Amino acid sequence: SVHTVDKLLVDQKEFWNDKTRDEAHDKYFFEILKSVENFNQFSVQGHLDFITRYGGLDKKGFIDYIRYQDLIDSILKKLISKGKGIEINTSGIRYNENRFYPCDNIIKRYFELGGEIITIGSDSHKASDLGKDFRRAYDFLESIGVKYISSFDQLDVYFKKIK
């Protein structure tokens, strides 16, 4: 997961100072692409667009998917070419965005491009959030034709049927 850009945490005001939402999102997605291009010792890209949770009332919210589609496609294609996956993070539901990280469009696009490796995480910081909203993630995956989720032993991927 990418949590810092230009040595600043994206959940801190300092990152957002003097940036529009688009400028912040540009920097964030380019940092993810750079990370995916330059590192191999990982299994999945975690909560790809969680930056939407931050920036204050005037900057938080959904990404402009159309604006970033080419850049996101580059990220997804690089992940797929390296045999890497993405994580569906369910915490967006409990953070009142009523969605997963990444958004549905990104998840669907990953599979359209030929991706197969997907994990589900709840980003739990307390026991009551462990596995929260996984059923909703499974239902969504099934609704778009996905039959398997992934887990790892070291960097070796294993597939498990959703049902």
Residue-range domains of the chain with CATH: 4-161 (3.20.20.140)
Is there a cis peptide before residue 102, judged by omega within 30 degrees of 0?
A: yes
Q: Structure pTM?
A: 0.92
2-15 per-position pLDDT tens digit = 999 999 999 999 99
| Residues 6+ positions from 140 with CB-CB distance below 8 Å | 88, 100, 104, 107
24-81 per-position pLDDT tens digit = 999 999 999 999 999 999 999 998 888 888 877 677 777 788 889 999 999 999 999 9
Helices 65-81 and 104-112, axial angle in degrees (round to 10): 40
92-105 per-residue burial string, b: 16 or more CB within 10 A, e: under 16 = bbeeebebbbbbeb
Q: What angle do CA 74, 145, 121 make, to 5 degrees?
A: 65
